[in-house]
Amino acid sequence: MKHQDLASLIAKTRPLIAAMALMHTPCHIEAAATANIPVTESRAAVADAHATATTTPRNLLAPTPPMGWMTWNLFKGDISDELIRQMVDAMAENGFVEAGYNYIFIDDMWQGGRDCQNNIIPDPVKFPHGIKALADYVHSKGMKLGIYSDAAQLTCAGMTASLGFEEQDARTFASWGIDYLKYDYCNAPEDSATARQRYKAMADALSKSGRDIVLGVCEWGQRNAEEWCEESGGQLWRVSYDVRDMWKDIVHQGGMGILDIINITAPLAKHTRHGQWPDMDMLVVGLYGKSGPSADLGGVGCNDTEYQTQMSMWCMLASPLAMTNDIRKLSDTDRRILLNREVIAINQDRLASPAERVVCTDSHQIYVRKLSGDRHAIAILNHSDSNVKIETVFAQLGLNGKYNVRDVWEHRDILRKAGKWKGNVMPHETKVFVLTPCGNGR
């Protein structure tokens, strides 16, 4: 989310009025909004988490790009304890957890204000059992729970945020069992220096909380966060404004299409390394223009080829993979794209090498990424609106010698002892190959 969304979400004056009202939530409501745990017990849990646990160094918190499912694009604020439990069950039952999608990310509009001790609390209607009970359920399924806040007084949707309450909120998140914080930057100053300070304040607070909590820096790529994310304690940095469910932006209202984000990320990829990942925003695979934030600002939907390209390039460029479609209602195409273990393996490769764009023409782009095991991944993206016949000589990409070539979307070896590939690439399609060098009997 970003500041450009605010006008379409809520009237300018209403969020402040609502937030001020919620700041004065009576004490007797607190227990209902904190998992039915006695007030003294919940505060003790916060204190215990702060006092006894030891956290992992922040640069080791996200050794590979996080993978999971996020609430925002499809459901916006129409979220609840029941919905999220259903999604958790669907992810476990449909093989997503086994494939590596082990996070549930709760985005904006979960908040219920603050209690009379200024502890942030969830909306008691949406989350009648509190967040801790939900986190316990998520953890029981072998998954992790992420939550959302903002480095200002109000979030993008005008809800209670964390500026000035960083340590208190971090202790609360830790006591609930939160594993990830998406930290937005709506209603905050434009300069980079302030952003660095505010993100570092929250990162330091998370480290003091006594629980390992990954921090996603979500300032939409306007302040060069790729240069200071690690120094400020973050593990991933947003590259752009919000993704929309479209191939590319043609309406020029501020939305970002799949191709737009690829082109923004390509020159930033050099900053990718262990524990520092370019957040290209959510996957829109399977949305097909459904109403929700991703349908705003020109989000008319994509075809399956374009959705497959999003998956291909998010994996090549080592972005976090946050699905936003309805996991309870999967199509065969959703499964084929989102559960492709071979392309996911590229995303999660332990070498963590950045992908390099080595060819960029009017019709196509070619990316090369070094993988573990002396292998390389190649992505050939046709960004034009016509079929393109392409001949790629591996040596011209910096890959000398002969290679065995595997097509990760066809799941088959297509060439042996080859020095080039030649073929047709459909409009907006991305071919992805893994090259293994010949030799030693291979």
How many angstroms separate the most distant Cα atoms in the chain?
74
- Catalytic-role residue among 242, 249, 279, 281: 242
Clarify whether 242 is annotated catalytic: yes
DSSP 395: G
CB-side neighbour CA atoms (13 Å) of 312:
27
Q: Is 169 an active-site residue?
A: no
Give the Cα-Cα-Cα angle 423, 429, 432 (nearest 5 degrees).
65
Which residue in the list 5, 184, 212, 249 is annotated as catalytic?
A: 184
State the Cα–Cα distance between residues 283 and 74, nearest whole angstrom: 11
Residue 188 in contact with residue 223, Cβ under 8 Å?
A: no
Please, what is the end-to-end C-alpha distance for the chain in angstroms? 48
174 and 45 in contact (C-beta within 8 Å)?
no
Query: Apex CA 174: angle with CA 88 and CA 82, to 5°?
Result: 25
Q: What is the bridge-based pairing of β-strands 120-122 and 111-114?
A: antiparallel
Query: Residue 159's beta-bridge partner residues?
Result: none
- Cβ(409)–Cβ(340) below 8 Å: yes
Active site residues: 184, 242
